[in-house]
């Protein structure tokens, strides 16, 4: 299900923005549109030492994506290969995915008359051709690793074990929102780098639990309404007939015995 993944070691990121440029070139995006965004976080330590740490924002490619669960027309889909892909030909631009995504990743093309969604698809077309995503191929320092999710998780753990002083002991994406196919290592706590703190359960679960109750509610409601209708009708009939009933009964009795 979640074969491929990306591991990003922020300690090796030098902030060259090659990944952003490669992404834009590969997707043919306009200059002001980015699917992958690096951002600088500036820190001043206790000894007034200034440092810049890289944060990064892109689609996390959740194992169980809430956006795909929410999408009205099923334009978003998790593939067996790993990426969460987007079918622009189906999308109606309702923007529900933007609220469903706990990482606030999908972005709308506000400047276009007929707007659609912008979102990283892990270069699904390149993956199909046996290549790695454009950003991973472009990274000069090896900060972006492409591979199988299990292997990358193991690699991330090994890195933390080998250099425990260098990393915060946390792999962002291992369990976030039910696990993601983009994983991060960092030397600065993730919250300080602007990574949202999300729960460990996929939001898709709560949604689908509620949605799967629909047929039951529909059938139950129809049955209940029919039942109530029949009961009230019967009650009304009985209530209205009673005073006359006895006389009809009596009349029938008289007629029979005549």
Partner 1 sequence: MWQRIDKEIRTMPWGVWALAALMVFGLSVAFYRLFAGLGTTTNLNDGYPWGLWIGFDLFVVAFSGGAFTLAAIVYVLQMHEFHPAVRPTVLTGLVGYGSVLVILVMDLGRWDRFYHFILFPNINSALFEVSWCILLYTLVLISEFSPVVCQKFGWERLGCFMKKIALPLVIVGVTLSTLHQSSLGSLFVVMSERLHPLWYTPFIPVMFFVSSVAAGLAMVIGGATVSRWVFKRTLSRNLVAELGWFLPWVLGFYLIMKIGELLAAGELGLLAANNYYSLLFLAELAIGVVAPLILFSFAAVRRNRNWALFGAILVLLGVFINRFSVTWWALKPIDGYFYFPSWQEIAIQVGVLSGAVLVYTLVGRYLPLFEGTVDVARAERIAQRSPTPQPAGD
Interface positions with partner 1 (CB under 8 A): 66, 69-75, 90-96, 98-100, 102, 104, 107-117, 196, 198-199, 203-204, 206-211, 214, 217-218, 221-222, 225-226, 228-229, 232-233, 236
CB of 195 to partner 1, least distance (A): 13
CB of 235 to partner 1, least distance (A): 9
> CA-to-CA distance for 5 and 36, rounded, in angstroms?
15
> CA-to-CA distance for 76 and 79, rounded, in angstroms?
10
> CA-to-CA distance for 102 and 197, rounded, in angstroms?
9
CB of 38 to partner 1, least distance (A): 16
Which residue, 166 or 233, has its beta carbon nearer to partner 1?
233
CB of 175 to partner 1, least distance (A): 15
For 118, the token pair is 């912008």
Which residue, 74 or 164, has its beta carbon nearer to partner 1?
74
Which residue, 17 or 233, has its beta carbon nearer to partner 1?
233
In the chain, which ranges are continuous DSSP H helix? 18-27, 66-70, 96-100, 124-128, 134-138, 149-162, 203-211, 214-257
CB of 111 to partner 1, least distance (A): 5
Rg for the chain, CA atoms, rounded: 30
Which residue, 131 or 201, has its beta carbon nearer to partner 1?
201
Which residue, 205 or 253, has its beta carbon nearer to partner 1?
205
Rounded to whole angstroms, what are the CA distances from 30 to 25, 73, 111?
Answer: 9, 26, 11
Question: Are β-strands 4-9 and 144-148 bridged in parallel, bridged antiparallel, or unpaired?
Answer: antiparallel
Which residue, 35 or 127, has its beta carbon nearer to partner 1?
35
> CA-to-CA distance for 136 and 140, rounded, in angstroms?
9
CB of 176 to partner 1, least distance (A): 11
């Amino acid at each position: 299900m979640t074969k491929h993944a990306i591991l990003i070691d922020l300690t090796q990121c030098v902030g060259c923005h090659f990944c952003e440029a490669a992404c834009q070139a590969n997707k043919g995006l306009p200059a002001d549109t980015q699917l992958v965004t690096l951002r600088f976080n500036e820190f001043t330590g206790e000894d007034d030492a200034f440092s810049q740490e890289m944060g990064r924002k892109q689609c996390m490619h959740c194992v169980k994506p809430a956006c795909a669960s929410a999408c009205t027309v099923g334009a978003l889909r998790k593939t067996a290969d790993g990426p969460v892909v987007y079918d622009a030909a189906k999308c109606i631009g309702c923007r529900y995915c933007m609220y469903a995504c706990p990482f606030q990743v999908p972005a709308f093309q506000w400047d276009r008359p007929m707007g659609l969604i912008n979102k990283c698809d892990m270069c699904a077309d390149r993956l199909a051709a046996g290549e790695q995503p454009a950003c991973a191929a472009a990274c000069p320092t090896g900060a972006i690793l492409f591979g199988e999710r299990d292997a990358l998780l193991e690699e991330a753990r090994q890195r933390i074990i080998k250099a425990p002083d260098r990393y915060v002991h946390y792999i962002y994406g291992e369990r976030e929102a039910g696990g993601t196919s983009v994983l991060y290592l960092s030397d600065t706590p993730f919250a300080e780098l602007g990574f949202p703190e999300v729960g460990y359960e996929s939001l898709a679960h709560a949604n689908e639990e509620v949605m799967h109750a629909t047929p039951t509610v529909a059938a139950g409601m129809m049955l209940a309404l029919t039942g109530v209708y029949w009961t009230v009708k019967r009650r009304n009939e009985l209530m209205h007939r009673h005073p006359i009933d006895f006389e009809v009964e009596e009349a029938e009795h008289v007629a029979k015995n005549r």
